[in-house]
Structure 1
Amino acid sequence: MSRTKCLIIGIAMTAVTAAILLAMGRIPICECGYVLFWTPADDVAGSSQHIADWYTFSHIIHGFIFYWLLWLLFRRNSVAERALGAILIEAAWEIAENSPWIIDRYREATIAVGYTGDSVLNSVFDIVWMLAGFFFAARMPVWVTILTAIAFELLALWVIRDNLTLNVLMLVYPIEAIKVWQGG
């Protein structure tokens, strides 16, 4: 499949994801009424509402992981075709993550007591950030990608006391001591 066709399909998949999120009742942009490129750590209400925030690093790491997984499973396919698979996985996660079940799970198992889900804008950019990670992993040596992932995880851990690793752990197997520590 040509890169142009993959690009068109990828844009369509992202647009369908946005439409599904809107149909689920997700807000298009932050309720605050404006759009920021970056949401700082102290703006808890703006987290997951704008273009990027501290959880953006997790989505970039998703791209690293999806690149390696899809490379292992579909080596014969082009990078562009594998990117479509990555978009499908990330889009499915964005839809699941914004379902009432996952939102409630975040509220009960993590420190995200007031979490209301992502804006559609944030979800679309989460897909874009994942693709940035995917193409970074496609171009960089494995060791650079691994070191970058570790740096992102440590930085987010230091700044917001959360990261992809803790996020997954607390969703799957919440540990009270970690929840207390994250709460400061």
Structure 2
Amino acid sequence: MRGMSRTGWLVAAGLLGLLAAILIAMGRPPICPCGTISLWHGTVQSNQNSQQISDWYSFSHIIHGFIFYGLSRWLMPRAPLWAALALAIGIEGAWEILENSPVIIDRYREVTMAYGYAGDSVLNSVSDAAFMILGFLAANRMRWWTTVALALAFELFTLWAIRDNLTLNILMLVSPIEAVKEWQAGG
């Protein structure tokens, strides 16, 4: 149960390829429309946010992996690691597809700090799924309390650094609070 099999890696690669193909078919840009590819982009309010390989929201995707690992071990304790990971990639991929639909893009623009959000590049979406895989596999190697402590550290760090994190992102999408939006904008 500790490691990934060759089958698992092939399934994961196939699912990431399928995600990329679906996003391209949806008309998402393969890379940042600016024409560059960067390993890290750290400016949230910019046209390159959610376009590059990693950004502040990569921490949230690692936490997704932690959560999916924990749920898989609780709900499917006997499933092979690769099968649980495949399900996690499917869920993460479905979110990436939904997140890049007009309804969610418009929702982000309306109620979150992502005022000019135009959706993710395919590169960023696939990278987000890869960060989820990293979190999933890391959680497989760590004790549960280490995983929880690391998730909390990521949440507090991004809250401090950019006034946003996974918790606030979910809150603002589901039940926006104007005071939070103003605080996130620096008010």
TM-score > 0.5 by shorter chain: yes
- Structure 2 matches for 1:34-183, cutoff 5 A? 34-41=36-43, 44-183=46-185
Retained in 2: the 8 A contact 1:106–1:171?
yes
Determine what percentage of the aligned residue pairs are the same residue. 55
| 2:44–2:56 contact (8 Å) kept in structure 1 | no
Q: CA deviation at 1:42?
A: 5.6
**What is the CA–CA distance in structure 1 between the aligned matches of 2:106 and 2:171, rounded to whole Å?**
16
Runs of 4+ in 1 over 2 A off after TM superposition: 41-44
Query: For residues 113-152 of structure 1, what are the alpha-carbon distances to aligned partners after superposition, in whole Å with 9 as ceiling and x for unaligned?
Result: 1000000000001011000000111110111111111110
Q: Which amino acid aligns with 1:95?
A: I
After superposition, residues 13-52 of structure 1 pair within 5 angstroms as 13-41=15-43, 44-52=46-54
TM-score (norm 1): 0.96
Structure 2 length as normaliser, TM-score? 0.95
The count of aligned residue pairs is 183
The one-letter code sitting in structure 1 at the alignment partner of 2:20 is: A
The answer to whether the Cα contact below 8 Å between 1:39 and 1:53 also exists between their aligned partners in 2 is yes
* Distance in 2 (alpha carbons) for counterparts of 1:140 and 1:37: 26
Q: For 1:79 and 1:5, how far apart are their aligned partners in 2? A: 11
Q: Indicate conservation of the 8 Å contact 2:45/2:114, yes or no.
A: no
Shift of 1:43: 5.9
Shift of the alpha carbon at 1:44? Answer: 2.2
Shift of 1:41: 2.8
Cα separation, 1, equivalents of 2:102 and 2:163: 24
Structure 2: gaps (5+ residues): none
CA–CA separation in structure 1 for the residues paired with 2:31 and 2:100: 14
Coordinate RMSD, CA, aligned: 1.1
- TM-fit CA distance, 1:98: 0.4
Q: How many Å separate the matches in 2 of 1:161 and 1:127?
A: 23
